Amino acid sequence: MRIVLAIVIFLCLLAASPPLRGQETGDFIKLGQEKFNDTCAACHRTNGEGLPDKFPALKGNPFVLGDPAPVVGTVLNGRQGRLGLMPAWKDTFNDREVAAIVSYVRQAWGNQAPPVAPAWVARIRGK
Ligand code: HEC
């Protein structure tokens, strides 16, 4: 249900704001790719495969492909888990950047999950 809601919100956003149309949608994912490669790839690697027993693979990862809310939450707030510390990024990236990064990891390396809209990241950040 939440995924459907996310898609609807994203599509409304696409329709409502010309800057995210057509070529711009590609630029949005490209922004996510750039930020990912600059920051996240240090651990999760540019191929999204991570490192065994250290950094989880994001490629083909059901958590990444599932409900986007906990994915956005993990990127914003980080997590101390079984493998170690995932740093928090809420002070590093704005809503558009977090949305672009999460949209990128949901669509890179053969992953196929709907993108996430910046307005939606703002809502999760506000919780
Ligand atoms: C310093 C290393 C490091 C960096 C940099 C890093 N992560 Fe992580 N990430 C981790 C670790 C370690 C975990 C696993 C934490 C745990 O044990 O639950 C993790 C977990 C995750 C998860 C959850 C995966 C799952 O299966 O539960 C996602 C999604 C994620 N990272 C995305 C990102 C994104 C996007 C970025 C860049 C903004 C990023 N990470 C940067 C170390 C890192």
Ligand 1: lining residues by beta carbon, under 6 Å = 39-40, 42-44, 55-56, 58, 61, 63-64, 71, 74-75, 79, 81-87, 89, 101, 105
% the chain with pLDDT above 70? 81
Number of domains the chain is built from: 1
* pLDDT value for 22: 54
* Nearest atom, ligand 1, residue 71 CA: 29
- What is the distance of C-alpha 4 from the center of its chain? 16
**What is the pLDDT confidence band of residue 83, given thresholds at 50, 70 and 90?**
very high
Centroid of ligand 1 to alpha carbon of 22 (angstroms): 30
Expressed as residue numbers, the domain containing 89 is 24-125
- Calculate what percentage of the chain has a pLDDT beyond 90: 79
Is residue 17 in some structural domain? no
Identify whether 40 is part of a domain.
yes
Instruction: Decide if 13 is inside a domain.
Output: no
Alpha-carbon gap, residue 110 to 14, rounded angstroms: 23
Helix (H) or strand (E) holding 119: helix 118-126
Question: If you measure from the C-alpha of residue 30 to the centroid of ligand 1, how many angstroms do you get, rounded to a whole number?
Answer: 20
Question: Is 36 within a domain?
Answer: yes
Rounded-to-integer distance, Cα 88 and Cα 74, Å: 7
Residue 51 lies in a domain: yes
The angle subtended at Cα 108 by Cα 113 and Cα 37, nearest 5°, is 130
Q: CATH number for the domain including 54?
A: 1.10.760.10
> What's the pTM value of the predicted model, to 2 decimals?
0.86
**Is 9 within the bounds of a domain?**
no
Closest residue to atom 16 of ligand 1, CA basis: 81
Quote the ligand 1 centre to 116 CA distance (angstroms). Answer: 18
Residue 15 lies in a domain: no
DSSP-derived secondary structure letter, 40: I
Rg of the chain in Å (alpha carbons): 14
Q: Is residue 19 part of a domain?
A: no
